[in-house]
Amino acid sequence: MTSRIRVEPPNQLPSNGLTSIQYKQWKVALKIFLQQTAEYREFFPGGFYPAWTPLEDNPNRIMKLNDSDKHEGITIKEHLAQRNIHLETFLGIIARYSDEGDFDDILEKSTSLEWIHQLHERRYGIQRKGRYFNRMDSIRFDKATMTDYYKFYSDLRSCFKSNLMKSGDTVKYKQQTLKEDERISPTTECFLIQIALERIDQRLPSEIDRIFGHRMNDGTTLMDLQTEIFSYIPRAIASLDREENIACSACHMHQHETEENHDTVNINAMSYRNQRMQTKPANRQTARYNGGATTRYNGGATKQQYFRNKNCKICEALELPPSVCNSHNANECRKKTLLQELFMEAPTQDYAPEHTNPYQNHQED
């Protein structure tokens, strides 16, 4: 005797914040739960009644039995009534586990299970057609919270797959209608792995090519090596980070050495400049003759003019030789200070002009 396992229903959908992956999981859980009852299978695609009339248009959603729907032992009217009761229960279960805001629309306006799915997708902004294909860009790898690399790839692939066109959809740019559901091609499968690697870490594609590239020359593709690739990712990222840290350390060390050399050159240059400043004469007016014809002395005079204008009146008054008198000016004379000191020490009454030759007295002393 076989035992029957009862599958629990899915959780109720939230009011917002539902992702396409989460909604897909909810749909699968709801389908498994509902298909445990044989009567509910007839309302899924492929059953006797995959579409029905909205309740607001006709209380009897199913107005006619399917020709293949057998009704042994009961009348057609009774069997039709049972089908409508089953459909009402079927929709009530779906509405119960949907958001409260969709409850009335599911019971009164729905026309198929696909119509209900589109209602949910509009609410959560996870539609599968048109502009909503770009929502794949929102699936990003967060290094702070995500550690399962293969799960991230699976989520990305699942989101892409949910955007594939179905049988009967119109392809406008080709002006044709699809006769069967669209499938992911082998090349697209490899491309999805490439996208997943880039979103996990932009350095991974080149690293994976370096490690596994030699194995893809005989028809082997990324899809064939996906298990090994996603298992190797943690080691690859650790190796890449280690190489970057070594490179950064070398770069910082080189920069630090360059700055130290630059500072040393600046210090030497400053020391050399200070030494040159200290060797310069304090009085720029006392210039030295350097052999040039255009050397200037005392406000622009040439060498001949400079010495021709020399004449110390103090030395002339002291009756010193002309060579001494013409060697300097009065403001440069050393006797000037000496005379001032002698006048301050000598009494005024003893002052005699004929004996005022302190230089001679000084020479005698």
* Mean pLDDT for the stretch of residues 334-349: 61
- Report pLDDT digits (tens) over 267-277: 555 555 555 55
- Report pLDDT digits (tens) over 52-73: 999 988 888 999 999 899 888 8
Q: Is the pLDDT of residue 337 over 90?
A: no
At residue 364 the predicted structure's pLDDT band, cuts being 50, 70 and 90, is very low
Q: How buried is residue 340: exposed, middle or buried, by Cβ count under 10 Å (0-12/13-18/19+)?
A: exposed
Most confident option among 7-21, 75-89, 285-299: 75-89
At residue 365 the predicted structure's pLDDT band, cuts being 50, 70 and 90, is very low
**CA proximity to 228, closest of 212, 240, 239, 214:** 212
Helix pair angle (149-162, 186-200), 10° resolution: 130
Contact status, residue 120 vs residue 24, Cβ threshold 8 Å? no
Contact status, residue 341 vs residue 365, Cβ threshold 8 Å? no
Report the pLDDT value the prediction gives residue 12, as an integer from 0 to 100: 94
pLDDT over 90 percentage in the chain? 40
Cα angle value 250/253/256 (rounded, 5°): 150
CB atoms closer than 10 angstroms to residue 197: 25
Least confident of 32-46, 144-158, 173-187, 245-259: 245-259
Query: What is the distance, to the nearest Å, from the Cα of residue 251 to the centroid of all Cα atoms in its chain?
Result: 21
Contact status, residue 99 vs residue 14, Cβ threshold 8 Å? yes
Tokens linked to 90: 């079927």
Report the pLDDT value the prediction gives residue 132, as an integer from 0 to 100: 58
CB atoms closer than 10 angstroms to residue 111: 14
- List phi, psi (to 5°) of 44: -85, 160
pLDDT over 70 percentage in the chain? 73
**Under the phi-then-psi rule, with left for phi > 0, alpha for psi from -120 to 50, and beta for the rest, what region is 11?**
beta
**Sequence-ordered list of residues with C-beta below 8 angstroms from that of 107, at least 6 positions apart, any chain:** 55, 88, 91, 92, 95
Q: Is the pLDDT of residue 352 over 90?
A: no
**CA proximity to 159, closest of 201, 126, 120:** 126
Average pLDDT, the chain: 79
* Mean pLDDT for the stretch of residues 331-356: 59
Report the pLDDT value the prediction gives residue 292, as an integer from 0 to 100: 43
* Mean pLDDT for the stretch of residues 175-185: 91
Q: Is the pLDDT of residue 291 over 80?
A: no
Report the pLDDT value the prediction gives residue 169, as an integer from 0 to 100: 85
